[in-house]
Chain A
Amino acid sequence: MKSTGASRREFLRSAGVLIVGFSMAGENGKLAAQNTISPAGLVDATQVDSWITIGADEMITIYSGKVEFGQGFSTVQTQLVAEELSVPFNRVKVIFGDTGLTPDQGVTSGSQSTVTEFKPGGLRQAVDTARDALFQLASQQLNVPTSELTVKDGVFSVNGQDPAGHVSYGQLLQGQRFNLTLNSKTVPKDPSQYTVLGTSVQRIDLAAKATGQFQYVQHVRLPGMLQGKVVRPPAIGATVVSVDKGSVASLPGSVQVVVKKDFVGVVADTEWHAIQAAKALVVTWSSGATLPDQSNLYAWMQQQRSLDSFTVDSGDTDQTLVQAVRKVTAQYLHPFQMHGALASSCAVADVRGGSGSSAMARIWSATQGVYPQRDSVALLLGIPPANVRVTFVEGSGCYGCNGNDMVSFDAALLSQAVGQPVRVQYSRKDEMAAGESYGPAYVVNLTAGVDRSGQITVWTREAWTLTKGDRPNATTPGNIISGALAGFPTPPLVPTAATPPKTFSNNVNAAANYVTGVVAANPPGGTGTVASQQVLTHTVASPFFTAPLRSPDRLQNTFANESFMDEVAAAMAADPVQYRLRHLSDPRLIAVLNAAAKAANWDTRPSPKPGNARTGVVTGRGVSCVLYEGNNGYSAMVAEVSVDQATGVITVTRIVTSQDSGPVSNPDGLRNQMEGGALQGMSRALHEEVKWNADSSAITSIDWKTYPVFSFGDPLPVIETVVLNPLTVPQMGAGECTITIAAAAIGNAVFDATSARLRRIPFTPANVLAALAARP
């Protein structure tokens, strides 16, 4: 066991070995000393000093739990602070995601970062409390009431007085702490007065990224660091029978083999040596688990015992369906999909002293949540959470909870075993076949009843999905692939009957836009008008680990809901936009739908498009919309497609998408997110499906050839974005809206062009040809 050579505090605090991100070089340690850290290693989020330090050099450092994945949030945080404190943008530095340095803000996910930081208890309130305190200090120093003070560029002056009567933030504080609790009564700047927020400030990280100077987690380099590789079971559920350590004994690189139950890995001096050792290591595995046949997945899901829940149930749908003059029914199928991050995941761990109360660990990880990972890794390693420090270092875009946590666990296990810092870089196959957790498949059955006037009077939805594992938490590491391999049991799904819901929470968009969301005696929570409504979800045990994938469940559900609304509109021979508007009640959803239709120069008429031939290449347009998570961002999309009915190939030619996420922090940044989301949604709709072989119990989507995605060279649609910017409402999420509605908009456009309804993702040529053949 290696001696630590440093005190616990020094080891956990030390930042000097690593420059964490280009923008936070050097001053990390000095500024960190101002933070309040409890003996349990927790940063007290109620204290202003936990969020902000202002140096004598006037530099402002922000500590945030919300991290950067390429979505531009570090830039928005910088804008927020510059705005509220009236300081130049370049005087603000943001340090994010570091247990022991930044407040615990859970995970950066669910399009919640802007919402969280702008609402009470978040960064804005901390900064505003600091601002108010600075006004008080300046008032005392300059001997005038605060009402006579103005502040510009971090310097106070007295209204109308000579320039000598000035004092700066740095001069007032002189490096001292604020010693203040966040004040819930602070008043943030009125968005109508914004000069930094609401403007298209360039991203703070892009110059370093464009010039190759940005340090990603792949570039964490520690003294004495070894390179590790995992050796995963070749089949899902296979267990170790034996490991022949002698098979790598003669290889170069001082190879060490680490086995912990079914977790197997190698460590060597260089990455190339580690790769060769991992390839050469002879491991005998048991056969794998029994998997459902891929071709039978959707039927299999409906046969399993399930955990059931209602989103809404008005209790009268059986009767109202009988009364309907017309019923429409359809089933929608969505496969397992991958995050498929461009980077195969990577992490570095430095575990000293084995396990127990005197052991310590540091982890550098591109995780979405440093605290949840810390708590889970502590259990994995048998080290107290306070002795584990997890530092976020940006990886590639992850689009949710991908392999970043798993690889961090792997690095921690290997480092603990060998007593030296270990970097683990997954191979592409490690990532895709046994590293990342997938977004789950869905079966969604929908039924609508319509009255004599063509109005929908009843909407029912019954769906099946799957789960296994999910995010790291403080309960067990067995819910993460690496923890399960290392012997921690994965919590089983407990079949449970549904009970009537007490509140309407549409956080996974299980309920369509068109229902009222009336639950018990509560006021409507939905965005629609259909009062007779039942939305039921059955969750079954997944054969594969699953975790949130960008727009988790919301995308699958919205594909079904928004495609089905199009089916009902077509059955009523109604224009798809007009028919939606007839069933919507929320003015902001109506506004984004109208905005997209207008910008697209929407051709108002029923689908399918009159006059299209049933052979050859035809064109069409489709629409979809959503209030993301039922309360977190409005968006609509019009897609235009051409479809080659001989080959089944869909070409999306134009996407027009609108969004209302409340006051916009950075218009160009929002447009960038909308564009990327729309194209990623298109990729998931057209191409993406995890595949496996039940005979070998193995995942067969192991690289970009076997998990095809939209890539450069494929026809690129024209993308137009429409940004609504209401200033008098709270901020909402922005990063997952357009991806949520892409599949339905495209599928609806294909119906418009061909009269063929696409009810199964992905819209591959084979699936399109099958739908074309099924036309009446």
Chain B
Amino acid sequence: MAAIKINVNGSSYSTDVEPDTPLLYVLQNDLKLNGPKFGCGLAQCGACTVLLDGKPIRSCVTPMSMADGHEVTTIDGLGTVDNPHPIQTAFITEQAMHCGFCISGPMLYGKAFIDKTPNATEADITKALNGLLCRCYAHTRMIQALVRYAKESA
């Protein structure tokens, strides 16, 4: 079995798992990252979202073969408690969570959209989150956090 190489949050990893192994299990169980989470395993909720070469994807249905040779960014890689990324600061400032389990979805879909869409409106941002789930329903605050991030990064 040929080794699969991925770059995760700036560091290179090589692994010999089966190529159909979903990326999420490697990130969570092998690399011990807590950011991307298992919600449904069906690409229906977004809790497992990571950026693959900057684009948000659902790591629960992305086989390792598709991630081979690519750059993966998780919310763990954006910033830390002591030095959070501006989008993380926006979510903290707006207290835009209850349990926080879904956060990879709204944060990374929001970030990817806002970073490539200068002057994104609230309506645009809301649309960019289409289909993501937050069952605590912190929707209003998450939108506010993303609007704040959009303004601050404009």
A residues engaging B (CB < 8 A)?
22, 69-72, 202-203, 205-216, 218-219, 221, 227, 252, 270-272, 340-344, 346, 394-397, 399, 425, 427-428, 668-669, 672-673, 675-680, 683, 703-705, 709-713, 716, 719
Contact = CB atoms under 8 A, between A and B. Distances in A.
Contacts of A394: 99
B97 A712 contact: no
Interface stretch (B30-38, B51-59, B112-120): B30-38
21 contacts: A202-B95, A206-B91, A210-B91, A210-B103, A211-B75, A212-B77, A212-B104, A213-B80, A215-B34, A216-B34, A271-B29, A272-B20, A342-B102, A342-B134, A344-B40, A668-B95, A672-B95, A675-B141, A676-B137, A712-B134, A713-B126
Contact of A712 (B38, B99, B132, B136): B132
B45 A704 contact: yes
Contacts of B34: 212-216, 219
Nearest to A432: B40
Contacts, number: 194
Contact of A704 (B40, B98, B100, B102): B40
B143 interface: yes
B106 A712 contact: yes
Contact of A272 (B22, B106, B141): B22
Given A70-B136, A213-B80, A716-B126, A344 B39 contact: yes
A672 B39 contact: no
A672 B141 contact: yes
A705 B40 CA distance: 11
Given A676-B137, A712-B134, A70 B97 contact: yes
B135 A210 contact: no
Interface of chain B, main secondary structure: loop
Contact of A672 (B29, B74, B84, B138): B138
A704 B136 contact: no
B133 interface: yes
Contact of B37 (A216, A669, A709): A216
Contact of B74 (A212, A343, A713): A212
Given A71-B98, A212-B76, A218-B38, A676 B138 contact: yes
A710 B137 contact: yes
B21 interface: yes
Given A207-B81, A704-B133, A713-B130, A219 B75 contact: no
A70 B35 CA distance: 16
A712 B137 contact: no
Q: How large is the interface on B (under 10, 10 to 19, 20 to 34, 35 or more residues)?
A: 35 or more
Top 8 A-B residue pairs of the complex, sorted by shortest distance between their CB atoms = A212-B35, A70-B99, A209-B100, A396-B101, A713-B130, A679-B137, A212-B76, A70-B98
- Central interface residue in B18, B79, B97, B100, by most chain A CB within 10 Å: B100
B70 interface: no
Contacts of B21: 270, 272
Contacts of B41: 344, 427-428
Contacts of B40: 344, 428, 703-704
A336 to B, nearest CB: 17
A666 to B, nearest CB: 10
Nearest to B142: A712
B139 interface: yes
A712 B130 contact: yes
B98 A712 contact: no
A704 B81 CA distance: 32
A723 B130 CA distance: 31
B1 to A, nearest CB: 11
Contacts of A341: 135
Given A212-B35, A219-B34, A711-B132, A343 B101 contact: yes
Nearest to B129: A712
Given A221-B32, A272-B25, A212 B75 contact: yes
B131 interface: yes
B121 to A, nearest CB: 14
Given A210-B91, A211-B78, A272-B21, A672 B28 contact: no
Given A270-B25, A675-B141, A399 B135 contact: yes
B140 interface: yes
B3 interface: no
B42 interface: yes
A406 to B, nearest CB: 17
Given A203-B95, A219-B28, A713-B130, A704 B101 contact: no
A206 B138 CA distance: 13
Residue with the highest number of chain B CB atoms closer than 10 Å, among A206, A212, A395, A669: A212
Nearest to B60: A428
A709 B22 CA distance: 26
Q: Chain A CB within 10 Å — which of B47, B99, B106 has the most? A: B99
B44 interface: yes
A206 B95 contact: yes
B101 A713 contact: no
Contacts of B131: 711-713
Looking at B36, B47, B78, B139, which has the most chain A CB atoms within 10 Å of its CB? B139
Contacts of A202: 92, 95
B84 A207 contact: yes
Given A202-B95, A675-B137, A716-B143, 16 more contacts: A69-B99, A206-B91, A210-B84, A211-B85, A212-B104, A213-B80, A213-B81, A215-B34, A227-B29, A341-B135, A396-B37, A397-B98, A397-B136, A703-B42, A704-B42, A713-B129
A213 B76 contact: yes
Contacts of A215: 34
A762 to B, nearest CB: 16
Contacts of A207: 81, 84, 88, 92
Contacts of A716: 126, 139-140, 143
Contacts of B29: 221, 227, 270-271
A271 B137 contact: no
B102 to A, nearest CB: 5
B127 interface: yes
B141 A206 contact: no
Nearest to A716: B139
Nearest to A669: B95
Nearest to A394: B99
Contacts of A425: 38
B98 A672 contact: yes
A341 B80 CA distance: 27
A704 B99 contact: no
Nearest to A717: B140
Residue picked from B81, B88, B141, most chain A C-beta under 10 Å: B81
Nearest to B99: A70
B92 A210 contact: yes
B107 interface: yes
Contacts of B130: 712-713
Contacts of B154: none
A676 B98 contact: yes
B16 to A, nearest CB: 12
A463 B17 CA distance: 56
B28 A208 contact: no
Contacts of A710: 137
A709 to B, nearest CB: 7
Contacts of A705: 44
Contact of A210 (B25, B99, B100): B100
Which of A72, A344, A705 has the largest number of chain B CB atoms within 10 A?
A344
